[in-house]
Amino acid sequence: MARKNTDIRQEEIKQAVLDIIFTDGLKNLSTSNLAKRIGMSEGSIFRHFPTKQDIIISIIEDVQNDFIGQLRIIANSSLPPTERLQKFLCATVNYLTDNKGITMLLFSEASHNNDAALKSSLQQIFNNQKQLVSKIILDGIALGIWDESIPVENVAMLYMGIPVSLNIDLILSGGEFHADNFCSKMLQLILKILKK
Amino acid sequence: MARKNTDIRQEEIKQAVLDIIFTDGLKNLSTSNLAKRIGMSEGSIFRHFPTKQDIIISIIEDVQNDFIGQLRIIANSSLPPTERLQKFLCATVNYLTDNKGITMLLFSEASHNNDAALKSSLQQIFNNQKQLVSKIILDGIALGIWDESIPVENVAMLYMGIPVSLNIDLILSGGEFHADNFCSKMLQLILKILKK
DNA sequence: TACCTTTGTAAGTAATTACTTACATACAAT
DNA sequence: ATTGTATGTAAGTAATTACTTACAAAGGTA
C-alpha cells in the first residue's frame, strides 16, 4: 500500500473505528477487522498507534476539543441567554446526529472497559456540558430573565437528559431519528421551567 | 460442587453476570470468569444456558417482567395523575440505583453487539417507559389538571432523560450517586412544565 | 550517490474466547 | 435394587484476539 504520513493514517484509522462501531458494533472492532476496512495490513496499524486502546483515547480527545470546544464558545458568548441556550441545544443535537459512531462509542465504552482513565475522560465530557448549561442558566438568572428559585443543578441534569436520550434513540433505531423541530420543541420545555 | 436444580443455578449465574459487569465491566464477562465467580466449572454453565448470549437475553426478560411490570401497575392505577407520576419516577430511580449491574448491561449491550433481537428488546423497555409516562400525562390533561397544549411526546422524551442521565452518572461515578431528594426535585421540574 | 528514518508487510506469537466431549455421580421414579 | 435423567467436571476444541518480529522499500537529506 502507498505510503502516507502518520497524521493522515491516524485520521483514517480513527474514521474506520467509528465506521465499524456504527455499522457492526463495538464487539466487531478488532484490529484485524480494522485493517481490512482500511485496506492495510494489521501490523501497519501499530505503526501509527501503540495500542488499540490509544485509538479510542485519541477519538475521545477529539470529542473534547471539537464538540465541547464548540459548546464552550456558545456558552461564553455575549448573546442573550435564551439565544445561547437555543444554539447550545441545537449544536448538541446536530453533533450527535452527525456523529453516530461517536455516540455509540461514548455510550458503550464507559461500561465496557471499566478503565479508570477512560471513565474519567467520559465524565469530563458529561460534566463539561452540564457546567456550561449551568453557566447559561445562571447568567439568565443574573440578568433577571429567569426564575431565581429554580434548582440550577437539577435543571442542568434534566437538560443533559435531552442529548442522552436522543443518543439512545439513535442507537436503538439504527440512526433513523427524525423528530421535526426536535431542538426547538425541547427548548420550549426547558424555557417553561426557567420562566419566572 | 453440590448439585442444584437448573432454575436455582440460572438465578446464580444471572446474578454473577450482573456482579461481574458492575465490578469489572462487560469486557471481563467471559464464561471462564463467570465460572470462577460462582465457583463451578465452565462446562457446567452450559448445562443451564445454551449460550452466553442466552444469559443476557434472560436477564433482559427479567427487567421487562419485574421493572416494567411494576411501572405498568403504577401508571394504570386509579391514583391522581400527580401522585402516579411521583411514584413512577421514584420507582424508576430506586430500581436503577438498586440494580447497577443491569444499568450497565442495558447501556452497553445495545451498542456492543448490534444484535437485532437484543436491540429490539431494549427498544421495548425504553418505549414502554415512554408510553406509560405519556399515559399518565394524557390522563392528567383529560382530567383538566394539566396544560392541554403541551407536546406530550416531547415531555415523555424529556422525562426519559431523567433515568437515562441518572444511569450515566451511576456508571461514571462507580455507583456513588447521592442527590438528596433527587426524584422529588425532578418531579417539581416536570410538574412546572405540565402546569396550565 | 549514500544513508537514515519512516512506513509498509507477511508470518508469526501467546493468551483468551465460547463452546464440546467423554465420563462420573447424584437422585428421583419404578 | 435398577434404571434413566439431570447435574457435575476436566480436558479438550478451533477460532479469534492484540500485538511482535524480521525484513523490504519509499523518500527525504547529506
Q: How many CA atoms lie within 13 A of A160 on its CB side?
A: 26
* Mean pLDDT, residues A132-140 taken together: 98
Instruction: Report how far residue A111's alpha carbon sits from residue A29's, in angstroms, rounded to the nearest whole number.
Output: 16
pLDDT digits (tens, 9 = 90+) for B42-78: 999 999 999 999 999 999 999 999 999 999 999 999 9
C1' (C19) to CA (A157) span, angstroms: 44
pTM of the entire structure? Answer: 0.91
User: Would you tell me how many other CB atoms lie within 10 Å of the CB of residue A1?
Assistant: 8
Closest Cα in chain B, distance from residue A5 (Å) = 31
Q: Residue B106: its pLDDT value, please?
A: 84
Q: In the structure, how far is the CA atom of residue B28 from the C1' atom of nucleotide D6, in angstroms?
A: 30
Q: Which three cell numbers stand for residue B89?
A: 419516577
Shortest CA to C1' contact from B52: nucleotide:
C18
pLDDT in tens, B138-148: 999 999 999 99
- Residue A121, pLDDT > 80, answer yes
Predicted local distance difference test score (pLDDT) of residue B20 = 94
Tell me the CA–C1' distance in angstroms for A37 and C6. 23
Position B57 scores a pLDDT of 94
Residue A163 pLDDT > 80: yes
Buried b (16+ CB within 10 A) or exposed e, B145-167: bbeeebebebbbbbbbbbbbbbb
Q: Which nucleotide is nearest to B35 (CA to C1')?
A: D9
Grid cell in block for residue B92: 424508576
Q: What is the mean pLDDT of residues A55-59?
A: 95
- Top-confidence residue, B142 or B99: B142
Task: Give A107's contacts in chain B (Cβ within 8 Å).
Answer: 107-108, 110-111
Query: Which pLDDT value is given to residue A171?
Result: 82
Look at the block and give the residue holding cell 440550577: A152
pLDDT tens column, A74-111:
999 999 999 999 999 999 999 998 888 887 888 788 77
Contact call for A111 and B107, based on CB within 8 A: yes
Pick from B74, B75, B55, B70: which is nearest to B13 by CA? Answer: B55
Higher-scoring residue by pLDDT: B19, A168: B19
